[in-house]
Amino acid sequence: MSDDLMKEDSGGGTRISFFEKKESACPICEHQFKIERFMTGGGRMNAGQLHQDLRREWLPSKKFGEVFPLIYDVIVCPNCWYSALAVEFLKPDPKAVPKLNENRDDRKAFVADVFPDLDFTLPRGLKEGAAAYLLALHSYQSWGPNFAPSLKSAICSLRASWIFHDLYKKFPQENYDYLSLIMKHKARFYYNRIVERETSGKESVGSVTHFGPDIDFNWGYDGVLYLTGYLEYILGDASNEAERHKKLERARMVIARLVGLGKSSKSKPSAMLEMAKELYHQMGGELKGS
């Protein structure tokens, strides 16, 4: 935790976030701006249920009301709209910088139809949070394989799906549920690609320190294996039985790796292992019945 964050947090009252006193330079367009940070202390993060997709539910409190920590874990330059996870926003793939500088208009157009009026110089809400993850997803397409862009795209897609679901609960008439489903399908695609590319050696996740997918717990590569199987199970196309059977068999093998490793290691998180075992049996039940 930075000194500025500690000072602000000690007298934060009911605030959820603050803007850093010192400006930072966007590594793409060199625009100077103040980064907004989430204030983690004082009971702002009230942990609730862990859901099957490994999302942690954050319960509202009397003092702070609803809190959405995820929307602050990705940073957006308010000038060029380059976006990335907070831990590496200032350290993008150097080879990607020219392309990221060139396609700023494409990034803005990518979110314009969904969110036409955005201002990333103001305190964030759910709409800015969802848009930030869409922009990060777009930005990561320019990063090279040594920077694990598939994993980061998977995390951004899944988190965007979660935030769109939160928006749907508040604005059920705005079709955010449809956008949530689209982003969940994108997450399914990227999680499958992580396993494929890691196995083939085309892309490594060795440099990644936090696999998420939420901010409270690092599930590591085990989480990647679990989510690969889980998303395929709940989202796979059931209209083609033969293709569904083939993909489900492959996903079950991924989950089997996780369950098998868990039997020989006491360090595996029991909560996820139990969900993985249940998922493994559910997949088996469907395959036997098909």
- How many whole angstroms separate alpha carbon 98 and alpha carbon 198? 27
The answer as to whether 199 is a domain residue is: yes
Residues 137 and 250 in one domain: no
In a domain, 227, yes or no: no
Q: Per residue in 14-29, is it b (16+ CB within 10 Å) or e — as a string? A: eebbbbeeeeeebbbe
pLDDT score recorded for residue 120: 95
Q: What is the pLDDT of residues 97-150, one digit of tens each?
A: 999 999 999 999 999 889 988 999 999 999 999 999 999 999 999 999 999 999
* Enclosing domain of residue 244: 236-290
Asked if 58 and 100 sit in the same domain, the reply is: yes
Beta strands 32-33 and 24-25 are antiparallel
141 and 214 share one domain: yes
Is the same domain home to 146 and 36?
Answer: yes
The answer to whether residues 206 and 72 belong to one domain is: yes
For 105, counting Cβ atoms within 10 Å of its Cβ (0-12 exposed, 13-18 middle, 19+ buried), the class is exposed
Residues found in the chain? 290
Whether 226 maps to a domain, the answer reads: no
Instruction: Mark whether 15 and 69 lie in a shared domain.
Output: yes
Mark whether 10 and 135 lie in a shared domain. Answer: yes
Among the three residues 219, 244, 260, which one is the final residue of a domain in this structure?
219
CB atoms within 10 A of CB 48: 10
- The answer to whether residues 192 and 243 belong to one domain is no
Alpha-carbon distance 271 to 68, whole Å?
23
The residue out of 219, 246, 264 marking a domain boundary is 219
Tens-level pLDDT at each residue, the chain (290 residues): 333 333 333 345 688 999 999 999 999 999 999 999 998 878 888 888 999 999 999 998 888 899 999 999 999 999 999 999 999 999 999 999 999 999 999 999 999 889 988 999 999 999 999 999 999 999 999 999 999 999 999 999 999 999 999 999 999 999 999 999 999 999 999 999 998 998 888 988 888 888 989 998 888 888 998 999 899 888 987 778 888 888 888 888 888 887 775 454 555 567 888 888 888 888 888 888 75
Residue 208 has a pLDDT of 87
Are residues 127 and 259 both part of a single domain? no
Q: What tens digit of pLDDT does each residue of 151-164 get?
A: 999 999 999 999 99
| 103 belongs to a structural domain | yes
Do both 99 and 183 map to the same domain? Answer: yes
- 230 falls within a domain: no
Q: What single letter denotes the amino acid at residue 91?
A: K
Q: Beta-carbon neighbour count of residue 47 at 10 Å?
A: 11
How is 206-222 classified by DSSP, letter by letter?
Answer: TT-S---SSSS---HHH
Domain count, the chain: 2
Please check whether residues 139 and 240 belong to one and the same domain: no
Q: Is 142 contained in some domain?
A: yes
Residue 214 shares a structural domain with residue 242:
no
What is the reported pLDDT for 14?
80
pLDDT of residue 136: 97
**For residue 265, what pLDDT is reported?**
52
Q: Is 242 exposed, middle or buried (0-12, 13-18, 19+ CB in 10 A)?
A: exposed
Domain membership of residue 56 (yes or no) is yes
Of 167, 191, 219, the residue at which a domain comes to its end is 219
The contacts found for 107-115 with CB under 8 angstroms, 24 or more apart, are 107/80, 107/81, 107/82, 107/83, 107/135, 107/138, 107/139, 108/81, 110/134, 110/135, 110/138, 111/135, 114/179
Strands (E), the chain: 17-19, 24-25, 32-33, 36-38, 47-50, 56-58, 74-76, 83-85
Provide the 3-class DSSP secondary structure of residue 2.
coil
Residue 112 lies in a domain: yes
Give residue 42's pLDDT. Answer: 80
Q: Report the pLDDT value the prediction gives residue 41, as an integer from 0 to 100.
A: 79
